Chain A
Amino acid sequence: GENVEQHPSTLSVQEGDSAVIKCTYSDSASNYFPWYKQELGKRPQLIIDIRSNVGEKKDQRIAVTLNKTAKHFSLHITETQPEDSAVYFCAASIQSGGSNYKLTFGKGTLLTVNP
């Protein structure tokens, strides 16, 4: 089955710096890659996603890149702010054969932005 590896497990940056979180996946059939943010005590929320027909996507300070050949994708946060502090999860999704569906999450990255 699909295996998603996420690094680093913890990341501490100074306010205003950039943060990069990387994920690799094992199944080349994966075709959808969402990123979720989970603040302490709250539910995960989608912050950005990318599909396999796109190499990069940007939304204000957040960007995601996808390298299908290398089977890895990354989250980039620029000009970090204290409110960016949270656990970030990457995921890889496969839909094949009608209703068959698999979504596998990485273990998460605890991002701390120090003021």
Chain B
Amino acid sequence: ETGVTQTPRHLVMGMTNKKSLKCEQHLGHNAMYWYKQSAKKPLELMFVYNFKEQTENNSVPSRFSPECPNSSHLFLHLHTLQPEDSALYLCASSQALATDTQYFGPGTRLTVL
């Protein structure tokens, strides 16, 4: 499964660190997404990009900052995170926005100390 890749797969950071998560899709899709998956919560949509333009910010705190330089790459910049931000962060892509199959990456397991 190499359609959507994410790096790093695991990340441990302190609350004062700055780090970035990277997502790359090799499927020629136009839409990309960031999700947060916590232990006892549903998948939470964080950000949506369509043709490199952000179309959705689902009330995400400003300590999460997305960047989409082109349709194949998506970043999530992290700074001054809280322990409750520890979760699996999943990237996904789809050919079209909204009503199209989303293909997920393997995720980055983030632990904030």
Contacts and interface: CB of A to CB of B under 8 A. Distances in A.
Contact of B50 (A32, A51, A99): A99
- Interface size class on chain A is 20 to 34
Contacts of B56: 100-102
A93 B98 contact: yes
Contacts, number: 59
Interface string A32-48: 10100000001111100
Most buried by A among B43, B45, B104: B43
B99 A44 contact: no
Interface string B89-101: 0100000011101
A50 to B, nearest CB: 11
B99 A95 contact: yes
A101 B104 contact: no
B42 A51 contact: no
Contacts of A95: 97-99
A25 interface: no
Contact of B99 (A6, A51, A99, A105): A51
3 A-B pairs with the lowest CB-CB distances in the bound complex, closest first: A95-B98, A32-B99, A105-B43
Interface of A: 4, 6, 31-32, 34, 42-46, 49, 51, 89, 91, 93-95, 99-108
Interface of B: 1, 41-45, 48, 50, 53, 55-56, 90, 97-99, 101-107
